[in-house]
Amino acid sequence: MKLLLALVFLFGTSSVLAASWSGEVVMIKAMTPSEAVLFQLSSELKEPARCNEHKAYAIDLSAPGGMALFDLVRHAYLNGLRVEAESLNTCAVFWKAEGVKSITLKR
């Protein structure tokens, strides 16, 4: 029973462990063989997923909301705005880069 409660606590709180990243957009990268766009922010990525070897977040342009996320990143890059990004904590969107869950722009 104690093991079951420990597992529920661990997996039930996994969304709290998702990495967050904030700063100005310093890099945007798109590639023709992929529907993903990668971006990096000016601050150091804290607690990245182990699979995130690119030290970048990935946006899936084919996913619902993907183009809206990309539009926010592009707007922030062009206007020097601060971005707060929340991770999906997985590299399923693009190999070796964390998928992004949400993006908030700040002045």
What is the tens place of the pLDDT at every residue in 72-90?
999 999 999 999 999 998 8
The CATH number of whichever domain residue 49 belongs to comes to 2.40.50.70
Q: What percent of the chain has pLDDT over 90?
A: 60
Look at 7 and 64; give whichever has higher pLDDT: 64
9 in a domain, yes or no? no
Give the pLDDT score at 107: 85
Give the pLDDT score at 74: 98
4 in a domain, yes or no? no
User: Backbone phi, then psi, for 62, in 5-degree steps?
Assistant: -85, -10
What are 94's strand-pairing partners?
97
34 in a domain, yes or no? yes
6 in a domain, yes or no? no
Among 7-11, 38-42, 46-50, 90-94, name the one with the lowest average pLDDT. Answer: 7-11
Q: 99 is in which domain, residue-wise? A: 18-106
At which residue do the structure tokens 């969304």 appear? Answer: 15
How many domains, the chain? Answer: 1
